[in-house]
Amino acid sequence: MKKLVLDLDESLVYSSMEAISPSCIELHASGSTFYTMLRPGAKTFVEYVSKRFEVTVWSTGLQSYLESVWSCFDVPGVTLWGRSFCKKIEGETSGEPYEKPLRQITEDLTQIVILDNTPAMFTKCPLNGILVRTWRGDPNDTELWHLSHYLKWLSTQPSMQRDHRAWRLEALCLRTK
Ligand SMILES: [Mg+2]
């Protein structure tokens, strides 16, 4: 089965220290309280892709945070990887100080793809990265719905390594065929 890595924050959910919307869910991890919102269609999306891929949700957040947020999804069979599985980028002071080396999951990069809102996560494997729009609470967002069409098609391809930059346009073409 092909493998799919999903980013959590600002890709599938948005978390903050204050409840910024009535749809926020109050959660707790490592002694702190925080509030999380699910991106529109997030649960349906994860259920859909977990039938077609071996899914790892890989977050740069702490494992306790990731597990707490995942309780809102309640989708079985998904692997949860927190910050301890990330590689620290030495000397990085301005941007994201972590990366997610896909070879920790498989050596065969034709059979894995990563979905993330931070392009730095796949600078070392650009043909494996699908960039998603950062989500911070827009209730009309349809990104995951479009992505499910693209991923359905991608799961049927012999190799998933390709230039994914035009994925939205390709998803649109796939639906109008
Ligand atoms: Mg993110």
Domains of the chain by start residue, with CATH: 3-176 (3.40.50.1000)
Confidence of residue 33 (pLDDT cuts 50, 70, 90): very high
Q: Is the pLDDT of residue 121 over 80?
A: yes
Name the pTM for this structure.
0.94
Mean pLDDT of 41-68: 97
Q: What is the DSSP code (8-state) at residue 39? A: P
Return the pLDDT at 93: 73
Distance (Å) from CA 118 to ligand 1 centroid = 6
Q: How far apart are CA 177 and CA 165, in angstroms?
A: 20
Centroid of ligand 1 to alpha carbon of 58 (angstroms): 9
Give the pLDDT confidence score for residue 92 in this predicted structure.
Answer: 74
Give distance in angstroms: CA of 11 to centre of ligand 1: 5
Share of the chain above pLDDT 90, in %: 84
Which region among 88-102, 119-133, 157-171 has the lowest average model confidence (pLDDT)?
A: 88-102
**Dihedral over Cα of 45, 120, 63, 79: its sign:** positive
- Segments of 10-149 assigned E as strands: 13-16, 25-29, 32-38, 54-58, 79-81, 87-88, 98-99, 112-116, 129-131
**Predicted pLDDT at 88:** 87
pLDDT in tens, 11-31: 999 999 999 889 999 999 999
Instruction: Please give the C-alpha separations between residue 174 and each of 127, 132, 143, 151, 161, in angstroms, as whole numbers.
Output: 20, 18, 15, 11, 18
Which residues surround the ion ligand 1 when the cut-off is CB under 5 Å?
Answer: 7, 9-11, 117
The two three-digit tokens of residue 4, written as one number: 């799919």
Work out the percent of the chain whose per-residue pLDDT is above 70: 99
Asked if 37 contacts 19 with a C-beta cutoff of 8 angstroms, the reply is no
Q: Is 90 exceeded by the pLDDT of residue 62?
A: yes
User: Is there a contact between 75 and 57 (Cβ–Cβ < 8 Å)?
Assistant: no
